[in-house]
Amino acid sequence: MPEKKGEKRPSGVHTGHRKRMREEFLRTGGGEMEEHRLLELLLFYAIPQGDLNPLAHRLVDHFGSLTGVLHATYDQLMKVEGVGHNTAVLLQLIPAVAARYMRQSASFERQIVDLWQLRELLEPYFFAQRDELAYLVCMDGNSRLLATRKLGEGVVDTVQIATRKVLEAALDCNASQVVLAHNHVSGIAMPSNADVDTTLRLKRVLAESVGITLVDHLIFAGGDMVSMAQSGLLRGR
């Protein structure tokens, strides 16, 4: 795909500026850098030369924040003047790499004894996700982690699919206990009526058919998490 104007190789008049910004980042870790300057530094690796400060400002202004830029889709990014294929792919790559890093950093084999350990384990799976995803944490009778299995996308309120996949994943891991987790792309972590109905049905099916305990159902959204067990919703209506 041809690059848009702004991603060609102009003369290297800003080489010194780029060098100073890289040195500042290496010296400070970027913690005190303004978000448009961090974005400008990132853009250096997609656009080899030229003044990228205007483009960084344009992106932050268009999407509202650096987070908004990194949450934008490829098509949304490509509509911004000065953004071409290389830039859009790079900006899509950052949250994907960050999510993988967070998942691997949070992996552990110890006993899961509280809600915060579950949050530490699961939150990275929903980082920067634009689609609704569902995961199942499988544990043995001593609450030791056996596996974290992806159930699918947009399946939590589809009872036929969710029940089958939960049973398959739990039995495949030889789990005694499971925790269901999914995200709300709306940004609101409160469980819907469909979430509660599906969870209660799954809890009953797991207990009655295979003797597996559904310990909790966690809902993630916008940095928040709601535990249905802690909220008293697993006791039924």
Tens of pLDDT, residue by residue over 122-147, are 988 888 777 888 999 999 999 999 98
Residues 117 and 222 in one domain: yes
Residue 5 lies in a domain: no
Q: What does the alpha-carbon distance between residue 127 and residue 92 come to, in Å, rounded to a whole number?
A: 13
98: domain range?
15-103
Residues 65 and 119 in one domain: no
Residue 223 lies in a domain: yes
In 3D, which of 231, 170, 154 has the Cα closest to residue 203?
170
Query: Which structure tokens are listed for 97?
Result: 């790499």
| Domain final residue, candidates 103, 135, 154 | 103
Tens of pLDDT, residue by residue over 176-217, are 999 999 998 888 888 888 889 889 999 999 999 999 999 999
According to the model, what pLDDT value does residue 232 have? 92
Total Cβ atoms within 10 A of residue 148: 19
Q: What does the alpha-carbon distance between residue 225 and residue 45 come to, in Å, rounded to a whole number?
A: 35
CATH of residue 71: 1.10.150.20
Q: What does the alpha-carbon distance between residue 39 and residue 34 come to, in Å, rounded to a whole number?
A: 9
Does the pTM exceed 0.85? no
